[in-house]
Amino acid sequence: MWDFDVIVLGSGPGGQKAAIAAAKLERRVALVERRNMLGGVCINTGTIPSKTLREAVLHLTGLNQRGMYGQSYRVKDEITAADLGIRTQHVIGREIDVIRSQLSRNHVAMLSGMGHFVDPHTVGVVDEHGQETKVTADRIIIATGTRPARPDTVEFDDHTIIDSDGILKLQDIPDSMVVVGAGVIGIEYASMFAALGTKVTVVERRDRMLDFCDLEIVEALKYHLRDLAVTFRFGETVAAVERRSRGALTVLESGKRIPAETVMYSAGRHGMTDELALENAELAADARGRIQVDEHYRTTAPHIYAVGDVIGFPSLAATSMEQGRIAAHHACGEPLRGIHHLQPIGIYTIPEISFIGRTEDELTASHVPFEVGVSRYRELARGQIIGDTYGMLKLLVSPESRALLGVHVFGTGATELLHIGQAVMGCGGTIDYLVDAVFNYPTLAESYKVAALDAVNKLRRVARFEL
């Protein structure tokens, strides 16, 4: 009756995993994607390019080695946009090859073009020549992702005034930059360009940045960014951005005027649903282009699912992958358990931040008692070896159950190191496991034992006073 059992719209992390999961369940699967966007935003303009750019910046600037070899240490004196682009394009190319191979091995049919609904079970795919092919499916999964939100009052030119996608198109590394918005993407790029020597000013209308993170960790990051000459303007709103021959003048509502070669807007993201013709499937998106789903990622049309950034928070590649897999299984009548409630957050600033569980502020607001165990990289042999003397790991521990309530890491390898804490929390372990465990020496993982001993010693001190 149908051309396919499952059609997936979009080949980003959520779409890929949904298509492959359905194919593993022996369904006939088709994946719709534009010819030059295999892998979606994640591979082509988002996560992978930005993280590769960060790695290139760290390597070429020699930033992490300056504590050892002096502040003047550089791997390359004159770093160009081309230097950064070579590594980025290499990784993007390799990742696209991997995705294409995975889809091919699993016999997923690739339909090249832009997809839209013709009716609830029919998708029209328009290729680059304007030719439309119509295909039908019993189940459809929307994984079209997001694009950077562009305020109507700003005249973007993809050179002087850009969004986060425009970063990859810069021909030169700017001498100065204004970053509007201190969210994850804004702060990641602000730290990268600051490391390259760009004079960065961050403008944020809220009173602090990354307000979902632990305050102590954010303050540590802010200190390091200020050390890289980043200027912060919190509680400020941009009134206008005026293009000039030498760049742009950012005018704040407070009257401040900030000249810069480039202005990058990081004003959130908008779901790519405009061209889906959702009304033909009796669906609708909200004002930010997001689609509402239930706990199984099913939309109000029972045979249509949506996953990834297009459904909103948390909008992480890692989470999107799991959403795609779960949605595909449910669509194929073989439902899985939902995503574990403990989800890690990784922020690829310079230095990295990563955490799981609750913050001190959240626990305090909920009247949940906790003790804190801290380890600093400078106390670890591995920290001295790699030249990271500022990193830290913080454990939040329940005095009653001795369970981990939160793990917060700042510094080299934070996003990798966090998963040890995630495993302990996910398995219901306690601080005592970390105290008793033997870690390889010298490693950064040792920080778990140091922080655990710190927490246990504090708990023991409290217990002694209660005698």
Give which of 398, 406, 418 is closest to 458, Cα–Cα: 398
Q: Does the pLDDT of residue 467 top 80, yes or no?
A: no
Q: What pLDDT is stored for residue 70 in this prediction?
A: 79
SS3 453: helix
Q: What pLDDT is stored for residue 378 in this prediction?
A: 95
**Residue 122: partners with Cβ closer than 8 Å, 6 or more residues away:** 134, 135, 136
Q: Does the pLDDT of residue 340 top 90, yes or no?
A: no
Q: What pLDDT is stored for residue 430 in this prediction?
A: 97
Contact yes or no for 188/57 (Cβ under 8 A): no
Alpha helical stretches, state H, 158-214: 184-195
- The packing angle between helices 184-195 and 215-227, to 10°, is 30
For 388-443, the pLDDT digits (tens) are: 989 999 999 999 999 999 999 999 999 999 999 999 999 999 999 999 999 999 99
CA distance 30 to 312: 24
CA distance 316 to 344: 10
Q: What pLDDT is stored for residue 76 in this prediction?
A: 84
Q: Does the pLDDT of residue 67 top 80, yes or no?
A: no
Contact yes or no for 456/373 (Cβ under 8 A): yes
CA distance 328 to 296: 10
Task: Give the 3-state DSSP-derived string for 288-326, with helices as H, strands as E and coil as C.
Answer: CCCCCCCCCCECCCCCEEECHHHHCCCCCHHHHHHHHHH
Per DSSP, 169 falls in state G
Q: Does the pLDDT of residue 111 top 90, yes or no?
A: yes
User: Structure tokens of 57?
Assistant: 């910046």
Q: Where are the beta strands (DSSP E) in 165-225?
A: 176-180, 199-204
Query: Which residues are registered as beta bridge partners of 376?
Result: 392
CA distance 104 to 98: 10
Which backbone phi and psi does 299 adopt, to 5 degrees?
-80, -175
Peptide bond into 442 cis (omega under 30): yes
DSSP β-ladder status, 161-163 and 146-148: unpaired
CA distance 365 to 3: 54
Contact yes or no for 64/412 (Cβ under 8 A): yes
Contact yes or no for 276/116 (Cβ under 8 A): yes
Q: What pLDDT is stored for residue 135 in this prediction?
A: 98
For 271-311, the pLDDT digits (tens) are: 999 999 999 999 999 999 999 999 999 999 999 999 999 99
CA distance 22 to 332: 7
Contact yes or no for 48/92 (Cβ under 8 A): yes
Query: Which residues are registered as beta bridge partners of 124?
Result: 116, 134
SS3 228: coil
Contact yes or no for 280/118 (Cβ under 8 A): yes
For 158-174, the pLDDT digits (tens) are: 889 999 999 988 999 99
Q: What pLDDT is stored for residue 168 in this prediction?
A: 86
